Amino acid sequence: MLEVKNLSFAFKNRPILNQVNFTIENGKIIGLVAPNGTGKTTLLRLLSGLLPHGNATLTLNSYDQRKQRTKYLNQLFFVESSNHLYKDLTAKDHLLYVKSMWHSSINIQQVVDELGMASYDKMKIKNMSLGMK
């Protein structure tokens, strides 16, 4: 079960998500449908740990994203469209670029390590398989 409590996020002082709360039971298939620019991708990035979630509580199958990060991330699979990746960058450089765009304080090396990307983090994205991307 995924539980989200008090999730808020702002970009350049513009609120994107404000005190979002929801629960999704295991085995349920949901659709996330909303107009462009309303925070769908931001929500998924927050849930996947790609963006900092402030004081929100995010739990997946009883694992807290902040306190049990590795176990939480092992329960999660999130793939963004590879069309938005900078193919001439390495995987790690791409993550660092996105981090700077979002003014995130997330530790990229920790993300690389926790997601098991260390063996290919210096590979250019254009040379990766779809699964690696």
pLDDT at 31 over 90: no
Please give the DSSP secondary-structure letter assigned to residue 68: S
pLDDT tens digits for 68-93? 988 888 777 665 666 778 889 998 99
Q: Is the pTM of this model over 0.85?
A: no
Measure the CA–CA gap between 98 and 6, rounded to whole angstroms.
24
Measure the CA–CA gap between 60 and 55, rounded to whole angstroms.
16
- Average pLDDT, stretch 56-61? 95
| CA torsion through residues 29, 8, 50, 100, sign | positive
Measure the CA–CA gap between 99 and 116, rounded to whole angstroms.
18
CA distance to 1, 28, 47, 60, per residue, from 72 (Å): 11, 18, 10, 6
Domains in the chain and their CATH numbers?
A: 1-78 (3.40.50.300), 82-133 (no CATH)
pLDDT tens digits for 110-126? 888 888 888 888 999 88
Judged by DSSP in three states, 4 sits in strand
